[in-house]
Amino acid sequence: MMMSTARIGFVRRYSGGFARDAVFEQYLRDPVKMIVIPVTTERVFIYHKHTKDFLNEHSWLIRLETWLTGKAGNVWSKLNASPKSYNKKIVSGVNRLLMNIPWTENSLKTIPGDNYLLKRVSKKDGPCGEEAETKLTLKEYLSSKVPLRTKPVNVYYPGKIITESAVIAELRTLCEQGLQYHRKQALLCLLGIPLTIPIILIPIIPNVPGFYLTYRAYCNLKAYLGAKHLKRIMDTHTPELKFQDFDAYDKIWSGETNYATQKEKLLLNDENLPKILELLEIPEIKFDLHKVVQQETARLHDERQ
C-alpha cells in the first residue's frame, strides 16, 4: 500500500474518546483542508472545509450570494414550519426530489470557486528576505509583481482503507465528470425557468417549479465552479495538495475491507457515521452523508438484484 506520510506516535491526551496524535492536532487547527470520507470500496465523498475568515468578502457577488442564500434559507424554514397542508405537501415533494439528486453534487458544492476564498501565500518580506504569510484575493494574487508561493492544502484520509493514489484518481474523476454533468444540468434548469412564468399569472398558486428550477440552477452552477476549481488544482498543483492520514481516523474503519477490492462494498454506514462526524468535527454535513448512505445502499442493492 502506498502511504504519503510517516506515522507519528500517540501523545497521552484524549478528547471525546479519541486519542490525538500530531497530525490529528494539525487537522483540528487547519483553517483550510480537504477531508476524504470513503463511501464504498470504489467511491469517496470529498469535503472541502474552511473557516469563515478565508471567505473573500471583497467580492460583491459573494456578498450578494450570502445574502440571497440567507433569505432563501429563512423562507424555506418558514415553509417547513408552516402548519398548512399544501405547504407540507410542497416541502415533502421538494425533499423527495432533493434526496434523489446525486450526492456527488453535495461534495462538489463544498469546493469553493477559485474567487471565493482568499489565497494563503508566502512572500519574501523585509531586508533579510524573510517569508511572511498573508491572504490575497485572486485578483491580487494574479497581479502580484513579487514571487508568491501558495500554502499547500492538506488532504486528510484514512490510509488503512484507501491509498493516496486512489484518492488522487477519485479527485480527478470527481472534477472531470462534474464539469460535464453540472454544466449541462445548469443550462437545462435555466432554459426551464421561463416555462414556469405563466404560473405567476395565477395569484393563488405559488410558482414552486420556478423557484425549484432557480435553486437547482444555482446548485449546479456551484458544483460546476467547484469542479472547475478542483480541476485547476489537479492540473497546476496550485495550491499543492499534501496528503495526511492519522491513526484515530484509521481506527474508525478497523475491520473494513480495503478500498481496492474486487466486489464493491458499502463502507460508510449508520454505525460509523456518528463516529466520523464527532472525530472530524463536521456535524454540518450530517444530512449530506445520510443522503450518501441512503443512495449508495439503494444502488448496491439494485445492482445485486
Residue 138 lies in a domain: no
Give the pTM: 0.86
Digit-coded pLDDT (tens) for 15-58: 455 667 899 999 999 999 999 999 999 999 999 999 999 989 88
Highest mean pLDDT among 82-96, 121-135, 271-285: 271-285
Provide the number of structural domains found in the chain. Answer: 1
Count how many Cα atoms sit within 13 Å of the Cα of residue 240 in the half-sphere of its side chain.
8
Residue 198 placed within a domain: yes
Residue 254 forms part of a structural domain: yes
Q: Is residue 132 part of a domain?
A: no
- Is the residue at 137 inside a domain? no
Domain that holds residue 247: 10-117+156-303
- Inter-residue contact 34 to 155 (CB < 8 Å): yes
Rounded CA separation 222/110 (Å): 9
Q: Give the least confident one: 161-175, 188-202, 264-278, 290-304.
A: 188-202
Average pLDDT score over the chain = 87
Give Cα separations from 138 to 67, 96, 143 (angstroms). 22, 38, 9
- Asked if the structure places residue 38 within a domain, the reply is yes
Average pLDDT over residues 148-167: 94
Is residue 122 a part of any domain in this protein? no
Mean pLDDT in residue range 97-109:
96
